[in-house]
Structure 1
Amino acid sequence: MIVKERIQEGMNQIIAALKMDQSQRGSWDYAFETGVATDCYMIILLRTLEINEEKLIQGLAKRIISKQEKNGSWKLFHDENNGNITATVEAYYALLYSGYLPKSDSRLRAARQFILAKGGMEESHLFTKVLLSVTGQQNWPSFFPLPLEILLLPPSFPVNFYSFSEFGRANMAPIMILADRKFQVKSTKSPNLTDLSAYRNPEFFSRNEQDEWRGLASAISEGISHLIGIPGQLHRMATEKAKQYMLDRIEPDGTLFGYFSATFMMIFALLALGYPKNHPVIMKAVKGLMDMECTIDGLPHMQYTTAAVWNTSLISYALQEAGVSPLDFAVKKGNEYLLSRQHYKYGDWVIHNPSGFPGGWGFADMNTVHPDVDDTTASLRSIARMVQSDSSFRQSWDRGVLWVLSMQNDDGGWPAFERNTDSKLLKLLPIDKAEFILADPSSADLTGRTLEFLGAYTNLPKNSEAIRSGVNWLFKNQESNGSWYGRWGICYIYGTWCAVTGLREAGVPSENPSISKASNWLKAIQNGDGGWGESCRSDIKGSYVPLQTSTLTHTAWAVDALIASFDQPTKEIDGGILFMLENLDRDDWTTDYPKGQGMAGNFYIHYHSYRYIFPLLALSHYQKKYIHD
């Protein structure tokens, strides 16, 4: 067993760092870092709109250049094999459009060579193909799988606009407008990217993909054919509905749902609908994106969204788990901030949850219309200790708990944003990663974390229908090796941590075969230095891939899961604790390595807060369970 003083010293070090980083309003605003894609899109947007923010554009260009690999490519994560075609196309385009690098620059020549060797810019991701088409770098395809009229189909139809997840709708609504109008816009500074094309093929989707789609397409067309109205009139109605969908969901900061990609596409969709470049809605949207700028290593980075609520809820909870009083200034300010961000109005989630009542929390600072289950349980954990002594917390608590319970899927698991949006028909769409872009299924991480919250912080009986259904969902969805796939983290270590801690708090004994199998898997993948590490390639491959080195966050997840499983510390647990204590100050690529994802193979997240949050939780849980005065 590790001595109490050493554990406390490590915890105190993290607590001091966290308190130092808290903002004046009470939130923790650690960066939500997502590679260079948003930096690239921002340059392209500003240049297209002819907004000459030269200091920002030059700074973003410097950051993009600083991330280039020796072979000319850009990567999404450290151990991605030779580079990423999509990221390299976006970086090349943005750097050329910035005006700060000529085509003759050796770095751009190397990037161009990499792109052509990988099949040309046509091999990039769907969003990038839309970017290239809307800015006039390639033609719109003759085929696009989603007609605007799908917005007119009722929710009772097998495939309709609300079959898609909230994230899918936010991005697809503007893209559908753009594809429908085949809209293109250039500026006086638009570069020529024809030399990035390995072959002249403007189609987004292969013939095989289109053929697979035909059956579902005909079903949608059949549904549309039964709509009452003149075809041209129906099309105008669908266009208006798509426009209004966007406008009705603009956040107070001007962004669409607070997402960079959705806001970017919305700006171009509004241009396609006839809005001038300087229209107030467009200008406010641009400002909203610019306000998401943060600074990393002295250079600007455009965040995809902000993570203020997520960071604050997790940090405030972790501080309290580590023994910091809920009346401590930092915790109190954090919880006051959280109360100010609870939702009191209905969002799209009500379509599939008509009996639910508002009360959730969202992820970002400026988020008023799309709460999610994970942020809600995280915020509820943070305010839990204040519920008995402060009536304002009690009201928030009751609303939040009821909303979480109302969001359980029919299969027993929990989604992120909306109930029962996992139609198997969506898998027929010829859209790369459609299951991540358009669906919001039950996941092991959401289900496990919700069960952990309900079991540890509410009086809901362990044999209640909600808990039993969630437990059964986890049992059914455990991998054969004992792990669980984590939808929003990297990846199997994350999912296993969520599932194990959830099952234990839901009353599943440690000797249960499911827990034992998970514990044995975690022990088997421990590294020689006592830590754990997992590659983002797990997400792409669909099975566990070791990182070949340890990280603080992966180690904390694994250790915390094992602490939940064993009454006495094991050598694996002590090894993980020692690794964390010896590496709290570690500052290398493993610290920066993504620990979250939003779209396997295309979108990875480095949460700057995780290096503090999860080691603090694991250390505090070790101390609480194993060290007694």
Structure 2
Amino acid sequence: MQGAQAAAGSASGLDVCIDRSVRHLLSLQAEDGYWWAELESNATMAAEHLLLERFLGTTEEEREQGIVRYLLGLQCEDGSWPVYWGGPGDVSISTEAYFALKLAGVDPESEEMKRAREFIRSRGGVGATRIFTKLWLSLFGQFDWAALPAMPPESILMPVASPLNIYMFASWARATIVAILVVWAYRPVVPIPDYAHVDELYLDPADRRSIPLRRDRQPFTWRNAFLAIDRVLHAHERLPWKPLRDFSLKECERWIIEHQEADGTWGVIQPPSVYSLIALRAHGYSMDHPVMQKGLNGFLGDFALRRGNTFSVQPCLSPVWDTALAVTGLREAGVPADDEALVQAGRWLLAHEVQSLGDWALTVPGIEPGGFPFEFSNELYPDTDDTAEVLIALRLLDLRGKDGPFHRSKVWLRAMQSTNGGWGAFDRDNDDEFVSRIPFADFGATFDPPTEDVTAHILEAFALDGTPPSDEMMDRALDYLWDTQEPDGSWWGRWGVNYLYGLGAAVPALVAAGVDPADPRLRRAVRWLEHHQQPDGGWGESCATYEDPSLRGQGPSTASQTAWALLALLAVEPPDHPATVRGIDYLVRTQTDDGEWIEPHFTGTGFPRDFMLKYHLYSNYWPLWALGRYRRLRDGNPIHLPETDPLG
């Protein structure tokens, strides 16, 4: 039953809704003070974990059968597995899931496997899958290693100043690539039983031995240049003499070991962690080695998802992000600045300040470490977006000891601003798009350029701290946001779906930085929001907008996306604006009696198009944030503007 339907439009109904949400969110706080819930992605997490343990030789029957049940539970009626909930089936994800199930002993003649097989073949079979899927098949002799694009380990030796070096890639891609350099050099193959082979997924047997890497029509492009280099590297690989191979492998090994995090993972994300374990195993590390044990235990610890009789792993962990956003949502909802639960959360955040130099320091030398990570333990990769949201949350808390981290974080953020005025997530000026043209890069984002949403969050954090718009850093950030506004008035969202997320970040930031709400560019944003409001009063947008931008603003209403739209409207319109009132009414009407909102849809973004996310707390703190801000503005006691008392 949905809770406040009878009094949806009344002040008392709003108060009941907010109080219920506050109680629910506080009940989810961990004993140590943080908030954290599942970060859901797609079936590749479970499938690749099963394959990883088969490769490492660490399979446990109960865990593997838990993965089998998890995968079968995610399968769609057409036999496929999608990138996101409700999305179309994906041939690469489906192939990995099918192979994992077959390797685990699922009867290939079962109805589930027949449907999966039919779907995969109808979409082109293995020949239509991405490079990384073919790499997984190669590890078990189901694809020819020689057909994969060349990734020689000598690449690790390219200096930072060279035209193509590992630090030109995004942090997540960089750590994955270094591991793959080792894997490609050894080309390991783990024998599997005949029953697990997937010959039936090939429409043409030749697809097992070749990848049709298409050239660009224009003769002189980075893509064509890299394809030519790939042919040269393959020819070189056939030579018996490789004078730098051993040294290169040792350098890759050193880099991998140095970048292992305290929790045992690499970057505290799944892709580099999986490939680093495979690389070190191929390099000769036994599973008894402390590095290997620590790495596998990282997956079997916080990353693991054990629900009933199923097992899977998460792609990443989001406690710092979740905690910062929960704190701001609770403060907007009226929880006092000195509330014990919030003060405990603030202390937990302060304890996770990054105090070590990471890869970012190679392009930003001479800057003291600072900032905050996304995860429990990520000393090497603080990110600018989390740092901004932590600063916004800490500003709202009556908390001693925050001045030092505040200062260090602001200095670090200033240094991380890119040349074009925006901010990327993990590096400065990591915007060389040509790295995405290497033949191996057919999945996910390979570089980390400045984006609208991250820039907006950082601009807002500085504005709330009193940095004037005339400050050169602020002026450049403002120019960046105006330059990236879409002609229709919206902003693209890199880390959330999609234009609604961009608007929810950009509009409040611009107003906080002193832009007049009557500015014609902001009026275009308001018209966009009014035009895309759903008949039920909410807002929604599909992950499909990354593939087809013409779908922007279209999709079933969700609580989190409605909250983003409301935060944008509340920044420029009075709280009694008709669209705002309808949006608030939608949130009040759709709340459950338990104080939460049901949201099956994915509204988070990992890699646009390829890897979408569902943050299981988004449907809790974002709606609370919007409802609380609406009530504060209606009652005349806001805390989210530079001139207001943040502890009020």
TM-score, normalising length from structure 2? Answer: 0.90
- Assess if the C-alpha contact under 8 Å between 1:141 and 1:204 holds in 2: no
State which of 88, 110, 117 in structure 1 corresponds to 2:94: 88
Residue by residue, what CA displacement relative to the aligned partner does 1:140-199 show, whole Å, maximum 9, x if unpaired? 134525432222122222222111111110111111221233222235698211111112
Match of 2:4 in 1: none
State which of 626, 632, 641 in structure 2 corresponds to 1:618: 626
Shift of 1:216: 4.4
Distance in 2, Cα, partners of 1:462 & 1:92: 55
Residue by residue, what CA displacement relative to the aligned partner does 1:532-572 show, whole Å, maximum 9, x if unpaired? 11010001224444553211111110111011011342111
- Assess if the C-alpha contact under 8 Å between 2:82 and 2:90 holds in 1: yes
Letter in 2 for 1:452: E
Match of 2:158 in 1: 153
Match of 1:227 in 2: none
Match of 1:120 in 2: 125
Percent identical residues? 28
Aligned CA distance change for structure 1 residues 68 and 409 (closer, same or farther; 3 Å): same
Letter in 2 for 1:449: H
Distance in 2, Cα, partners of 1:70 & 1:216: 40
Q: Residues 364-383 of structure 1: matches in 2 within 5 Å?
A: 364-383=375-394
Letter in 1 for 2:252: A
Letter in 1 for 2:402: F
Aligned CA distance change for structure 1 residues 217 and 433 (closer, same or farther; 3 Å): closer
Letter in 2 for 1:293: A
State which of 237, 243, 250 in structure 1 corresponds to 2:260: 250
Distance in 2, Cα, partners of 1:356 & 1:604: 33
TM-score, normalising length from structure 1? Answer: 0.93
Shift of 1:313: 1.3
- Assess if the C-alpha contact under 8 Å between 2:319 and 2:376 holds in 1: yes
Letter in 1 for 2:71: I
SS of residue paired to 2:99: helix
Match of 2:271 in 1: 261
Aligned CA distance change for structure 1 residues 19 and 568 (closer, same or farther; 3 Å): closer
Shift of 1:431: 4.3
Distance in 1, Cα, partners of 2:373 & 2:203: 43
Residue by residue, what CA displacement relative to the aligned partner does 1:359-379 show, whole Å, maximum 9, x if unpaired? 111111122211101111111
SS of residue paired to 1:208: coil
Distance in 1, Cα, partners of 2:408 & 2:245: 40
Query: Does residue 1:320 correspond to 2:326, yes or no?
Result: no
Distance in 2, Cα, partners of 1:575 & 1:79: 26
- Assess if the C-alpha contact under 8 Å between 1:433 and 1:599 holds in 2: no
SS of residue paired to 2:143: coil
Q: Residues 128-139 of structure 1: matches in 2 within 5 Å?
A: 128-139=133-144
Letter in 1 for 2:122: A
Distance in 2, Cα, partners of 1:138 & 1:220: 19
Match of 2:169 in 1: 164
Match of 2:556 in 1: 549
Tell me how many residue pairs correspond in the alignment: 617
Aligned CA distance change for structure 1 residues 143 and 93 (closer, same or farther; 3 Å): closer
More contact order relative to length (CA 8 Å, sep ≥ 6):
2
Aligned CA distance change for structure 1 residues 585 and 299 (closer, same or farther; 3 Å): farther
State which of 38, 43, 51 in structure 2 corresponds to 1:31: 38
Query: Does residue 1:417 correspond to 2:417, yes or no?
Result: no
Match of 2:450 in 1: 442
Match of 2:506 in 1: 499
Distance in 1, Cα, partners of 2:86 & 2:518: 37
Match of 2:312 in 1: 301
Query: Does residue 1:275 correspond to 2:274, yes or no?
Result: no
Distance in 2, Cα, partners of 1:496 & 1:414: 17
SS of residue paired to 2:557: strand
Residue by residue, what CA displacement relative to the aligned partner does 1:13-50 show, whole Å, maximum 9, x if unpaired? 11101111111111112111112211111111222333
Match of 2:615 in 1: 607
CA RMSD of aligned residues (A): 2.6
Match of 1:226 in 2: none
- Assess if the C-alpha contact under 8 Å between 1:47 and 1:189 holds in 2: no
Shift of 1:251: 0.9
Distance in 2, Cα, partners of 1:39 & 1:169: 23
Residue by residue, what CA displacement relative to the aligned partner does 1:476-517 show, whole Å, maximum 9, x if unpaired? 111111111111111111011111111111111111122111
State which of 176, 180, 191 in structure 1 corresponds to 2:181: 176
State which of 137, 141, 145 in structure 2 corresponds to 1:140: 145
Moved more, 341-350 or 3-12: 3-12
Distance in 1, Cα, partners of 2:259 & 2:120: 37
Distance in 2, Cα, partners of 1:490 & 1:60: 28
Letter in 2 for 1:563: L
SS of residue paired to 1:615: helix
Shift of 1:62: 1.0
- Assess if the C-alpha contact under 8 Å between 2:493 and 2:499 holds in 1: yes
Aligned CA distance change for structure 1 residues 423 and 231 (closer, same or farther; 3 Å): farther
Distance in 1, Cα, partners of 2:245 & 2:193: 33
Distance in 2, Cα, partners of 1:205 & 1:236: 31
Shift of 1:589: 11
- Assess if the C-alpha contact under 8 Å between 2:497 and 2:604 holds in 1: yes
Distance in 2, Cα, partners of 1:177 & 1:190: 29
Moved more, 51-60 or 328-337: 51-60
State which of 84, 89, 95 in structure 2 corresponds to 1:77: 84
Residue by residue, what CA displacement relative to the aligned partner does 1:109-156 show, whole Å, maximum 9, x if unpaired? 110111111111232222222211123221113452543222212222
Distance in 1, Cα, partners of 2:346 & 2:593: 29
Moved more, 232-241 or 252-261: 232-241
Distance in 1, Cα, partners of 2:575 & 2:317: 39
Q: Residues 340-419 of structure 1: matches in 2 within 5 Å?
A: 340-386=351-397, 390=400, 392-419=401-428
- Assess if the C-alpha contact under 8 Å between 1:481 and 1:521 holds in 2: yes
Shift of 1:288: 0.6
Shift of 1:52: 3.5
Distance in 2, Cα, partners of 1:276 & 1:75: 35
Moved more, 321-330 or 524-533: 321-330
Query: Does residue 1:67 correspond to 2:84, yes or no?
Result: no
SS of residue paired to 1:549: coil
SS of residue paired to 2:556: strand
Match of 2:522 in 1: 515
- Assess if the C-alpha contact under 8 Å between 1:134 and 1:268 holds in 2: no
Distance in 1, Cα, partners of 2:108 & 2:628: 54
Shift of 1:207: 4.1
Distance in 1, Cα, partners of 2:127 & 2:580: 48
Match of 1:339 in 2: 350
Aligned CA distance change for structure 1 residues 586 and 323 (closer, same or farther; 3 Å): closer
Distance in 1, Cα, partners of 2:212 & 2:321: 36
SS of residue paired to 2:606: strand
SS of residue paired to 2:305: strand
Match of 2:477 in 1: 470
Moved more, 190-199 or 340-349: 190-199
Query: Does residue 1:13 correspond to 2:20, yes or no?
Result: yes
